[in-house]
Amino acid sequence: MNVDVLPILHEHLEKMGHQQRIDLFLYTRGGFTPAPARIAFLLREYCDEFCLLIPRYAHSSGTTLATAADEIVMHRMAELGPIDPSVANAFNPVDPNDPGKKRRIPISVEDVSAYFNLAKSHGQIAGEAMSEPLRQLAEEIHPLALGNVYRQLSLIRTVARRLLATHMDEDKEADRIDAIIRRLTEEFYFHEYPISRIEARDYVGMKIKFPELEVEETIWALCSQYDATLGLEQPAVPPNLTVARGGGRVIVDSAVIESTEALHTYRFEGSVQPGKQPGEVDVQARGTWGRR
């Protein structure tokens, strides 16, 4: 999920015109942290009520987008995920396993928070003494990288609060809003934790709806159609991709934006060569959005 979808999404919405309700069918493993807010506010320009339909995954940025929904319809196989991001910039540590020493190691925002919580709870460190764990961490990780971690943590909490405020009363429901943000950013302790619809409703406190059986079956059938076209449950490069001795061309559609008015796909086109190890595939491809 990225901001590159905005012009295409805008085209679809313009053709649809203003609607009383828009249902967005979403399957995503995550994306660019600021993207969900821009997508949500654009959708709000074209509808009075925004509903999210989740057949399988709406992880990370997908969950952030879910905080903007008046209603979240989840299939029993659907999952949300924590919204604590990992950040990477020029000041992050270099990956020691990268031969070129160019790759940077992402830093989990919640890993940094957990480090200080560990110092407080198990190290019995408090007050001015907390400067020592900070000093030790800054010796291992560039201070500007740590500053970026703090900014990203503040950003995701601010974004979630603004999106929840689109359909919740910030004054009357302040405690509930705070609880949702805290649970999605802190209390699952693992970015890959799969949040079921029961947990999302009963523990997180989100506006989850369990659909009737007929609707649930329809949601799953539509997801299966996209899976057949895009290979949603497969890695980016299908394991059954056959590569000739001299290599060849590859064309893979990896994303779809579809409405009653139009269809766009994100297509990778490029070259594919046998990898250095048996069974490995080296793909050099460029992705573009296009109308199909």
Q: What is the pLDDT of residues 141-159, one digit of tens each?
A: 777 777 777 778 888 999 9
Residues 135, 120 within the same domain = yes
Residues 131, 224 within the same domain = no
| Mean pLDDT of the region 266-292 | 74
| Mean pLDDT of the region 42-48 | 97
Residues 260, 136 within the same domain = no
Of the ranges 69-78, 165-174, 267-276, which one carries the lowest mean pLDDT score? 267-276
CA 157, 161, 164, 168: dihedral to nearest 10 degrees? 150
* Token pair of 55 as six digits: 């057949």
**Four-residue CA torsion sign, 25, 29, 31, 34:** positive
Question: Does 236 fall in a domain?
Answer: no
Q: How confident is the model at residue 244 (pLDDT cuts 50, 70, 90)?
A: very low
CA 41, 42, 45, 51: dihedral to nearest 10 degrees? -70
Rounded Cα distance, 172 and 178, in Å:
12
Question: Does 242 fall in a domain?
Answer: no
Q: What pLDDT is attached to residue 230?
A: 85
Domain count, the chain: 3
Domain range for residue 98? 86-148
Question: Does 237 fall in a domain?
Answer: no
Residues 178, 215 within the same domain = yes
Rounded Cα distance, 159 and 74, in Å:
22
Residues 60, 165 within the same domain = yes
Contact assessment for residue 73 and residue 54, using Cβ atoms and an 8 Å cutoff: yes
206 pLDDT more than 60: yes
Question: Does 235 fall in a domain?
Answer: no
Rounded Cα distance, 127 and 104, in Å:
33
Give me the CATH number covering residue 186: 3.90.226.10
Question: Does 104 fall in a domain?
Answer: yes
